[in-house]
Structure 1
Amino acid sequence: MKTLFKELTEKTVKKLKVPDFDHIDLKKVSYLSWNDKGSGKRYIITEYKDKLIGLQGTCKNSNQKGICTFCNGISEVGIFMIEVKGDIKGSYIKRGNYIFQDSVSCNHNLTEKDKLDTFIEYILK
């Protein structure tokens, strides 16, 4: 699987509280994901159409095993939800799906990035 992150530094994602990138091999992950316990938000960064894209949402643990939208594996999942602008000015729509609570395991299970890209297309439409 081709996974290429352009140079990702804390400066690149300057507005986010990011984890320590020094211990992450960016050549072995398709996406980065972490929780900000202070705000209750989940962040996902990945390459999409040759550009870095960041998603900010919430991820509520379902307390059960399920199928991950990204890797199609079975493990403990949570519902990752994002609010996007609706068609009517001032309106918002919530979109999301079930993903692994543990993004390291999910990245390990990913053999192709197509399901992750399909999820991003669904979120951004």
Structure 2
Amino acid sequence: MSEPFIVNHQYNFIKKQAGILEQTLRANADSKILESVRYSAELKIAELFPNGTNFQKHMLEAIFNLQSSDDFAKHLMELESYLIEFPQITDKQIQKLFPKNKKLKLPDLGAIDYRYVTYISWIDISTNKLFIVYHMNGQFIGIEGRYTPTNKKGYCFVCNRHEELALFTAISKKRPANSSPDYYRAIGNYLCIHGHECNKNITDPSLLEKFVDSVIG
């Protein structure tokens, strides 16, 4: 069996394209429309793996020949065997990411299925804070900020899905030249109130990475 080669957001993207294709098949769409949807999905998925091996390309291309809902479900389950896990992290490593939080509430790392994780997040209700751990450029990055549920639905800036939202506000470490000692800049964005749902939906981490970069400086 080939080594794992699909990360969580890529798998979510593949599922999304498979869903579009399956829906087109169910609708008994015109053959030209069906062919167009197949070609579009195949092209978009191939762009995610420009250096894919022949075996990997074969695994991904197989989805475009499926016909039934059972076939799609079976194939997506087979692809789960090739998921790359989010890098393992320990409680001690997390504590080092947030050194100012002496009584840091830690997530239950043992309950996480790292195959389906793009980022780790958890909430400390006692302080109304949200903590995020992301792996970027070969290292773990920790971001914390104020967490305010909105009690309404909208589009999450991370996964771009219509979900229940919270406002996440973090203090940027970037400082303009010659800024005063008390200068600070808060950066806020709306994201899914449930991190596990966001991880199930995210298909492109670029906006999350942009946010992380704007906070860490």
Q: What TM-score does the superposition give when structure 1 sets the normalisation length?
A: 0.89
Q: Is 1:7 paired with 2:119?
A: no
Aligned pair partner of 2:194 in 102, 108, 117: 102
Tell me the residue number matched to 2:212: 120
Task: Give deviations 1:27-64, integer Å, cap 9, x for gaps.
Answer: 21001111111222110011122211000101111111
Q: Which moved more, 1:113-122 or 1:72-81?
A: 113-122
Q: How does 1:49-88 map to 2 (within 5 A)?
A: 49-85=137-173, 86-87=175-176, 88=179
Task: Give deviations 1:54-112, integer Å, cap 9, x for gaps.
Answer: 00101111111111000000011111001124431321111011101011110000122
Q: Which has the higher helix share?
A: 2
1:124 CA displacement: 3.2
Aligned pair partner of 2:128 in 16, 33, 40: 40
1:13 CA displacement: 1.2
1:5 CA displacement: 3.1
What are structure 2's unaligned runs of at least 5 residues? 1-5, 9-84
Aligned AA (2:90)? T
C-alpha separation between the residues in 2 aligned to 1:18 and 1:111?
26
Q: Which moved more, 1:95-104 or 1:79-88?
A: 79-88
4+ residue runs over 2 A deviation: 1-7, 84-87, 121-125
Do the aligned partners of 1:5 and 1:46 also contact (CA within 8 Å) in 2? no
Aligned pair partner of 1:18 in 72, 91, 106: 106
C-alpha separation between the residues in 1 aligned to 2:147 and 2:126?
14
Do the aligned partners of 2:131 and 2:142 also contact (CA within 8 Å) in 1? yes
Q: Which moved more, 1:14-23 or 1:105-114?
A: 14-23
Q: What TM-score does the superposition give when structure 2 sets the normalisation length?
A: 0.53
- Which one has the largest radius of gyration? 2
Q: Is 1:30 paired with 2:115?
A: no
SS at match of 1:53: strand
C-alpha separation between the residues in 2 aligned to 1:7 and 1:77?
28
Do the aligned partners of 1:70 and 1:119 also contact (CA within 8 Å) in 2? no
Q: Which has the higher strand share?
A: 1
Do the aligned partners of 2:128 and 2:148 also contact (CA within 8 Å) in 1? no
1:6 CA displacement: 2.8
Identical counterparts, % of pairs: 30
